[in-house]
């Protein structure tokens, strides 16, 4: 079991760095110091690894968000929690999230459709949170789908630039996104005046 987990982790690092198609089982064996043939004692195929990495990330995104959306907190508090959750999933395993975000289109057709459904469901939970905030009078969001896309764009792109040894924790990044989303940049100026 530990060996299988090692293989999955090596695979997500290689897929993230080189791309799925540019990583061979030979590369994976080299990275682990294993014979290519021995890999097949633990996993069925390269496809299977991609499916596992993407499905696991999708599950993490969705599961945490379902809990947050259902909480008996104000919409702004749930929005802050949702942003922290998204950034936590992205930054906890940058290679896994890069594979989820950028390599998922290389999934076999059936699994690809399944992941597309989970992404839709996840985005739907974000839209729901934004719409509930309108009902609560917390904010005005004329186009919840577009606003959800914008917030998730910032969160997703974090996988492209965030470094664990950088100057910001993931939570600080999430809270800065929250502040921008809630107040914008011109509002802060008025508060500061």
> At 55, is the secondary structure helix, strand, or coil?
helix
Helix or strand or coil: residue 141?
coil
Binding of its own copies at residue 102 (CB under 8 A)?
yes
Contact string 129-148 vs its own copies (x = CB under 8 A): -x--x---xxxxxxx--xx-
Minimum CB separation from its own copies for residue 184, in Å?
A: 4
Q: Cβ(58)–Cβ(112) under 8 Å?
A: no
Give CA–CA dist 175/163, Å, rounded: 17
For the beta carbon of residue 8, count every other beta carbon within 10 angstroms: 18
Among 41, 63, 113, 168, binds its own copies (CB under 8 A): 168
User: Cα 161 vs. chain centroid, distance in angstroms?
Assistant: 14
Span of 37-45, 47-55, 107-115, 185-193 interacting with its own copies by CB under 8 A? 185-193
Per-residue contact string for residues 11-50; x = within reach of its own copies by CB under 8 A: -------xxxxx----------------------------
> Phi-psi bin for 73: left (phi > 0), alpha (psi -120 to 50), beta?
beta
Q: Of 19 and 29, which has the nearer Cβ to its own copies?
A: 19
Q: Which is nearer to its own copies, 21 or 36 (CB)?
A: 21
Q: How far is the CB of 3 from its own copies (least distance, A)?
A: 28
* Tokens linked to 193: 């005046």
Answer yes or no whether residue 166 interacts with its own copies by CB under 8 A: no
Q: Which two tokens stand for residue 121?
A: 């469901």
Which range of residues in 24-32, 36-44, 51-59, 183-191 is near its own copies by CB under 8 A? 183-191
Taking residue 107's Cβ as centre, other Cβ atoms within 10 Å add up to 19
Residue 149 in contact with its own copies, rule: CB under 8 A: yes
Q: Provide CB contacts within 8 A for 44, sequence distance 6+.
A: none
Q: Which residues bind its own copies (CB under 8 A)?
A: 18-22, 76, 102, 106, 130, 133, 137-143, 146-147, 149-150, 152-154, 156-158, 161, 168, 173, 176-177, 180-189, 191-192
């Amino acid at each position: 079991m530990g060996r299988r987990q090692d293989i999955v982790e090596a695979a997500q690092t290689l897929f993230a760095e080189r791309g799925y198609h540019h990583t061979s089982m030979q590369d994976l064996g080299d990275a682990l110091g294993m014979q290519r043939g021995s890999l097949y004692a633990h996993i069925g195929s390269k496809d299977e690894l991609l499916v596992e990495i993407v499905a696991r990330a999708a599950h993490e995104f969705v599961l945490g968000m379902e809990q947050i959306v259902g909480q008996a907190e104000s919409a702004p508090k749930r929005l802050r929690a949702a942003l922290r959750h998204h950034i936590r999933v992205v930054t906890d395993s940058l290679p896994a999230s890069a594979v989820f975000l950028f390599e998922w289109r290389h999934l076999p057709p059936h699994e690809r459709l399944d992941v597309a459904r989970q992404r839709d469901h996840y985005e739907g939970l974000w839209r729901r949170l934004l719409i509930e905030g309108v009902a609560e009078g917390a904010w005005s969001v004329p186009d919840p789908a577009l606003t959800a896309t914008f917030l998730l764009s910032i969160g997703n792109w974090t996988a492209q630039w965030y470094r664990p040894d950088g100057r910001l924790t993931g939570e600080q990044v999430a809270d800065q996104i929250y502040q921008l989303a809630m107040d914008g940049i011109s509002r802060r100026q008025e508060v500061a005046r």
